[in-house]
């Protein structure tokens, strides 16, 4: 029953288009080869399409390696300004003093004048992010809960869902531009933009969490004769309380970065300072801003991660009520950061 070897060796046979024997097994083999050939053709088409798009994109942005190489000298000079060299006790190092001088001169962190604290750019950025998050939180909660099919029956919950989709379709930076007529090119508008953005994103995360909850506790609370809003808060929201806190921490982290971006287009704080220094080609000062951005975003991320990890494996949250959980949180975060959580 074997086919002559000459047929099996040909290219057509390799791709599954040669005449081979007609036993069921041979036909199956033929079919498998043909399928593999088709799959390879699709892969090839995909690679070609991606390559073409990539090439077209490079043309569109006028990508030019020669120019990059030509500009290397200039970039090197900029690097020297980004990281101004100096020597400490004869050892060459980056001139940290230059950064600090600028941070103090421009009040990037904070100063005390006549016994009054003057908050610097870093705190303005933090305030934009924090105020925006807190303002957006109730809206996110409202839209998130109302979008859940568990709370509002099917077609009606889509009104809220669609509103959140619409908000998300427009980037936060654009929301800032839209809201400028309302409150000017100010940190206030920045906080409003973050509030809108938070409503769209955090609300959506809340809705997703709510779709996962169990029916049991809802029925349990309902059976006690509780009101509808009590069933929602005790039967449903209590099930996702920890997840919500974790998402809020994550969103705050995201909003701090967003606030820096908003600063660049006018919402003040570190972003604005960074933009001004770049416009005036003060690269050392620019790097001072970037260092503070790094410190701010990094520490907020660290805190947010610790909050989330403390919530994940913390049973004291269960033992206590909501309020106590908040009161105990700093201690637990500290404990978990120091790695003293195991008993």
Partner 1 sequence: MSTLTIENLSKQYGDVTALEDVSFEIEDEFVVLLGESGAGKSTLLRCVNGLTEPTSGTISLGGEPISDSQADIGMIFQQHNLVDGVSAYLNALTGSLNRVSMLRSLLQWQSRADKLSALEALETVGLLEESQQGVSQMSGGQQQRVGIARALVQDPRLLLADEPVASLDPSSAETVMGYLRKAAEEHDVTALVSLHQVNIAAHFGDRFIGLRDGQKLFDVEREELSPELIDDLYGSVETVALAKPEEIAGAGPGELDGVPGEIEQEIEA
Residues that bind partner 1 (CB under 8 A): 216-217, 219-227, 229-230, 233-235, 238-239, 241-242, 315, 317-321, 323
Q: What is the DSSP string of 108-140?
A: SSEEEETTEEEE-HHHHHHHHHHHHHHHHHHHH
With beta carbons less than 8 A apart as the criterion, state whether 209 and 246 touch.
no
Nearest approach in angstroms of CB 160 to partner 1 is 20
Q: What do you get for the CA distance between the two ends of the chain, in Å?
A: 72
Angle ∠(297,302,308) on CA atoms, nearest 5: 125
Nearest approach in angstroms of CB 236 to partner 1 is 10
Nearest approach in angstroms of CB 13 to partner 1 is 58
Which residue is it, tokens 């806190």? 245
**H runs (alpha helix) in 16-120:** 24-60, 65-82, 96-105
Phi, psi dihedrals of residue 75, rounded to the nearest 5°: -65, -35
Of 73 and 318, nearer to partner 1 (C-beta) is: 318
Of 243 and 304, nearer to partner 1 (C-beta) is: 243
Nearest approach in angstroms of CB 184 to partner 1 is 37
Of 280 and 320, nearer to partner 1 (C-beta) is: 320
Of 185 and 226, nearer to partner 1 (C-beta) is: 226
Nearest approach in angstroms of CB 143 to partner 1 is 19
Q: Which of 187, 192, 204, 210 is nearest to 136 (CA)?
A: 192
């Amino acid at each position: 029953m074997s086919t002559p070897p000459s047929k099996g060796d040909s290219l057509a046979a390799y791709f599954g288009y040669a005449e081979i024997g007609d036993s069921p097994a041979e036909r199956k083999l033929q079919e498998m080869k043909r399928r593999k050939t088709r799959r390879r053709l699709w892969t090839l088409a995909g690679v070609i399409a991606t390559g073409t798009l990539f090439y077209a994109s490079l043309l569109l942005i006028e990508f030019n390696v020669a120019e990059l190489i030509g500009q290397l000298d200039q970039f090197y000079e900029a690097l020297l300004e980004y990281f101004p060299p100096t020597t400490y006790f004869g050892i060459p190092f980056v001139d940290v003093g230059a950064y600090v001088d600028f941070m103090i001169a421009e009040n990037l962190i904070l100063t005390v004048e006549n016994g009054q604290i003057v908050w610097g750019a870093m705190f303005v950025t933090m305030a934009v992010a924090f105020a925006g998050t807190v303002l957006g939180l109730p809206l996110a909660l409202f839209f998130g809960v109302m979008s859940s099919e568990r709370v509002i029956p099917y077609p009606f919950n889509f009104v809220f869902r669609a509103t959140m989709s619409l908000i998300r379709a427009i980037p936060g930076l654009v929301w800032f531009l839209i809201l400028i007529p309302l409150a000017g090119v100010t940190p206030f508008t920045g906080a409003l933009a973050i509030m809108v953005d938070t409503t769209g994103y955090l609300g959506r995360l809340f809705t997703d969490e709510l779709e996962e909850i169990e029916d049991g506790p809802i029925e349990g609370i309902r059976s006690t004769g509780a009101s509808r809003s009590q069933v929602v808060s005790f039967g449903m929201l209590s099930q996702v309380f920890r997840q919500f806190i974790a998402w809020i921490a994550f969103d705050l982290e995201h909003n701090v970065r967003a606030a820096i971006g908003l600063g660049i287009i006018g919402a003040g704080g570190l972003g604005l300072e960074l933009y001004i220094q770049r416009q005036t080609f003060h690269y050392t000062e620019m790097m001072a801003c970037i260092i503070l951005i790094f410190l701010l975003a990094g520490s907020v991320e660290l805190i947010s991660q610790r909050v989330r990890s403390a919530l994940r494996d913390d049973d004291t949250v269960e033992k206590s009520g909501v309020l106590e959980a908040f009161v105990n949180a700093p201690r637990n975060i500290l404990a978990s950061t120091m790695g003293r959580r195991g008993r």
